[in-house]
């Protein structure tokens, strides 16, 4: 087997400027992000497990959901109702892999919905072994004077409050050996000046991950986080970056290009699997080289 060149393995050119309203549809992006639809191959690492993935319609959550199914898990995904077209594509890939796909649209900023989401996933899957929180909101604002209370609240509700509500709802259903995976960011450690609210939520996610790893250790429930670097997803072209930053998005990292969601898949699978039996309270960077500590 020959080595693959990480610099050229995925698209490494300039991106066309393109703007959609949040949350956007990745099927309308150019190029369409690679979430492992054909590029990820499973080997039965999660056979018989049941996973709930938030943000599973697109981007990194979609890559996790697809990889989980290809590794033998049944998968429920959550997303916003607007994203139904992306979610239907994911359902088709999960079913093609021979696994059950459960679609549960709804807004995570609503506390009661988090409970309904967990209850429905438990009912339709028969339990939850992998709770994978990937949903997130990011809107760049240059000056703090322009950061509205509405945005501040919404970013914290989606990224932080819902993580707590989701785990509270899921805990009674999580058995020994279950795995909770959160999604932080390089922004947890190196906040950009135009992502004041978002970066703060991502630091909070690291903190919550570490607290809960300690709290749940004696139950045999592991809690870890994945910290992505610049990944080509809908988040970035729906206001996550200013449009003028889109063409060169990702090119400043050591590996000189944006990552694709499928490049996160193996880490989400590892943390979910029994192979990670001695791994908890950790943050795994998949960043193209950006340091995360
Ligand atoms: P994405 O837009 O494809 O996925 C984000 C998803 O969050 C959306 O598909 C949507 O379903 C969900 N979401 C947003 N608000 C919601 C709400 N109120 N209720 C329910 N669902 C909601 O983009 P992505 O980049 O794959 O984002 C996934 C995660 O990765 C986010 O947590 C993001 O912060 C994190 N992340 C992304 C990058 C990157 O460069 N793309 C870098 C670091 C971290
Ligand atoms: Mg989406």
- Per-residue pLDDT tens over the stretch 1-27: 799 999 999 999 999 999 999 999 999
- What is the maximal distance between C-alpha atoms in the chain? 55
Atom of ligand 1 minimally distant from the CA of 183: 32
Task: Look at the block and give the residue holding tokens 């994911």.
Answer: 90
Instruction: Tell me which ligand sits closest to the C-alpha of residue 250.
Output: 1
Cα–Cα dist 33/26, whole Å: 7
Our CA dihedral for 221, 169, 284, 232, rounded to 10 degrees, sits at 150
Catalytic residues: 198
Q: Write the DSSP assignment of 196-222 as a string of letters.
A: HHHHHHHHHHHHHHHHHHHHHGGGT-E
Give the pLDDT of residue 53.
99
Condensed to tens digits (0 to 9), the pLDDT of residues 70-127 reads 999 999 999 999 999 999 999 999 999 999 999 999 999 999 999 999 999 999 999 9
Query: Mean pLDDT, to the nearest integer, of 118-147?
Result: 98
Give the pLDDT of residue 285.
98
Ligand 1 centroid – CA 205 distance (Å): 14
At 293, is the pLDDT very low, low, confident or very high (cuts 50, 70, 90)? confident
Tell me, using a 6 A CB cutoff, whether residue 107 lines ligand 1.
yes
Domain at 26-286, CATH class = alpha beta
For the chain, strand residue ranges (E) read 50-54, 74-79, 101-105, 130-133, 179-183, 222-228, 283-286
DSSP assignment letter at 58: S
Percent of the chain at pLDDT exceeding 90: 99
Tell me, using a 6 A CB cutoff, whether residue 250 lines ligand 1.
no
Average confidence score pLDDT of the chain: 98
Cα–Cα dist 235/215, whole Å: 31
Ligand 2 centroid – CA 282 distance (Å): 26
Tell me, using a 6 A CB cutoff, whether residue 131 lines ligand 1.
no
Instruction: Tell me which ligand sits closest to the C-alpha of residue 137.
Output: 1
Neighbouring residues of the ion ligand 2, judged by CB less than 5 Å: 23, 57-58, 83
Asked if omega into 7 is within 30° of 0 (cis), the reply is no
């Amino acid at each position: 087997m020959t080595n693959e060149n990480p610099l050229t393995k995925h698209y490494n050119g300039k991106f066309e400027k393109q703007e959609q309203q949040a949350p956007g549809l990745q099927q309308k992006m150019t190029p369409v992000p690679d979430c492992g639809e054909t590029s990820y191959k499973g080997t039965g690492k999660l056979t018989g497990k049941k996973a709930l993935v938030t943000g599973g319609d697109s981007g990194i959550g979609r890559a996790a959901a697809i990889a989980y199914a290809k590794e033998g898990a049944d998968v429920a995904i959550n997303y916003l109702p607007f994203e139904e077209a992306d979610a239907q594509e994911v359902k088709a890939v999960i079913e093609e892999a021979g696994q059950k796909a459960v679609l549960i649209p709804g807004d995570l900023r609503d506390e009661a919905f988090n409970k309904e989401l967990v209850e429905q996933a438990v009912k339709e899957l028969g339990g939850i072994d992998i709770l994978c929180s990937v949903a997130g909101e990011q809107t760049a604002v240059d000056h703090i004077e322009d950061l509205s209370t509405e945005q501040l609240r919404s970013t914290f509700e989606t990224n932080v409050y819902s993580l707590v509500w989701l785990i509270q709802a899921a805990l009674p259903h999580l058995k020994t050996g279950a795995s909770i995976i959160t999604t932080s960011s390089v922004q947890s450690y190196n906040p950009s000046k135009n992502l004041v609210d978002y970066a703060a939520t991502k630091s909070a996610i690291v903190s919550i991950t570490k607290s809960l790893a300690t709290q749940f250790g004696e139950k045999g429930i592991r809690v870890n986080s994945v910290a992505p670097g610049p990944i080509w997803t809908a988040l970035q072209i729906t206001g996550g970056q200013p449009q003028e930053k889109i063409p060169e998005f990702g090119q400043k990292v050591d590996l000189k290009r944006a990552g694709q969601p499928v490049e996160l898949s193996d880490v989400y699978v590892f943390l979910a699997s029994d192979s990670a039996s001695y791994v908890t309270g950790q943050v795994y960077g998949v960043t193209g080289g950006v340091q995360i500590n």
